[in-house]
Amino acid sequence: MLILGIETSCDETGIALYDDQKGLIDHILHSQVALHAEYGGVVPELASRDHIRLIMPLIDTLLKKNNVDISTVDAIAYTAGPGLSGALLVGSSVAESLACSLAIPAIPIHHLEGHLLAPMLETKKPDFPFLALLVSGGHSQIIHVKAIGDYEIIGDTLDDAAGEAFDKTAQLLGLSYPGGAELSRLAMTGNPRFELPRPLMNTADFDFSFSGLKTAVLTLVKKQTLLDDQTRADIAFAFQEAITDVLVKKTISAIEYVNLDQLIISGGVGANKQLREKFKLASEKHKFDLFFPSLEFCTDNGAMIALAGALRYHLPKNNKNNHYQIKPRWRLTDI
C-alpha cells in the first residue's frame, strides 16, 4: 500500500511517499525560513501563498524522482490540524481533490500524531505503549501513547512552550530568526557564569511553565552593562541548561509514574543536542529505552504524515471520506 503524505501546517511544505511494506520511499521538504526571516516570525498569508506556489511542483518532483505514477497511490494523508488556517486549507484542498479524482481515500492527520509516530520511521522503533515528550514551537507535552489514536496527555505547558521560550530568548539576545536553533549553537560556546530559575521542576505534577524563565532572561539581559558576544553565549548557555533540566526532570518523573520503559523525544526542540545528551544519560541511569527521530524528522515533514496515514488506514473508525476537513485548533485527545 502506497501513501502520499502532505504537510502544510505552518511554514514548511513537506511531501512524502510511504509504503507499508518497504517503509519510507522518499520525501521532499521546502522551508520558508528565508521568506519570513525579515519579519522575525511567520506571516500566515505569506506562508499560505508559498504553499500554493510550491505544493503541486513538489508532488510532481517527488513522483518523477521515484518513477511513481500518481495512479498507483492508494491513499493520501494530509495534515488537517492544528496549524495556520490558510496553510492547512492548501494541503487539505490538494489532498482531497487529488483523492477524489483518483477515487482513493483521503486521510486527515493530526499534526502532533505525526510527530509522536515519527520515531517509527527509524530502524529502531518503540512498541506500544510508550511515553512521549513532544517539544516544539507550540507544544510542550508529556503523552502516554497507548495505541494509534489512544493518547493521554499527562503533562502540558501552562503558558509558553519550550520552542517559544527558545525563540523569544533568542530575540532578547539579538539573534536572527529562527532564533531557537541560533541560540542552541551560541550556547555551545557559553560558560557556566549565570544561574536561571527552573520553573515547576520540583512540583508533583508533570506540567511546564516557561514564561517566567523568559522573564528572568529579560531581567538578566537588562542588568548587563556590556552585552558582548561572550555574555550572550553565557546567557544562552544558562537558559539552555535551565530549560533542558526541567524537561528531563519532569519527563523522568512521568515515566516512573506510568511505569513504562520506553520514551520517545519528538518535535523541533527534540533536535537540541544538549537535551538529547541529558536524556541519554538519564536512560542509562533509570533503565529505559530511548527513541529519537532523525534530525530531519524532528521538524515538520511529510514523512511523518505519510507514516501516520499508513498506520491509520486500517483502523475501523478511520475517517477516509472525501470532504475538506481542517481543525486549526485541535487537541490530540479529540482525534
Tell me the per-residue pLDDT of 170-219, one tens digit each, with 9 for 90 and over.
999 999 888 888 999 999 999 999 999 999 999 999 999 999 999 999 99
- Cα 94 to Cα 59: distance, rounded to the nearest angstrom: 10
Residue range 49-70: mean pLDDT, rounded:
98
Q: Are strands 2-7 and 75-81 parallel, antiparallel or unpaired?
A: parallel
Chain segment 109-128, per-residue pLDDT in tens:
999 999 999 999 999 999 99
| Whether 36 contacts 82, CB under 8 Å | no
The superfamily in CATH containing domain 127-292 is: ATPase, nucleotide binding domain (3.30.420.40)
pLDDT score for 322? 54
Residue range 271-291: mean pLDDT, rounded:
97
Query: Locate cell 496527555: which residue?
Result: 153
H runs (alpha helix) in the chain = 33-37, 44-65, 85-102, 111-117, 162-172, 179-187, 211-223, 229-258, 273-286, 302-312
Confidence of residue 265 (pLDDT cuts 50, 70, 90): very high
Most distant CA pair in the chain, distance = 66
pLDDT score for 320? 55
pLDDT score for 319? 56
Whether 293 has a pLDDT exceeding 70, the answer reads yes
pLDDT score for 173? 96
- Cα 301 to Cα 292: distance, rounded to the nearest angstrom: 15
Q: Which of 93-97, 274-278, 326-330 has the lowest mean pLDDT?
A: 326-330
pLDDT score for 321? 58
Element holding 19 (H helix, E strand) = strand 12-19
- Report the top-level CATH class of 2-117+297-334: alpha beta
* Domain segments of the chain as ranges: 2-117+297-334, 127-292
Residue range 17-38: mean pLDDT, rounded:
96
pLDDT score for 196? 98
Confidence of residue 317 (pLDDT cuts 50, 70, 90): low
pLDDT score for 305? 98
Confidence of residue 318 (pLDDT cuts 50, 70, 90): low
- Cα 323 to Cα 331: distance, rounded to the nearest angstrom: 20
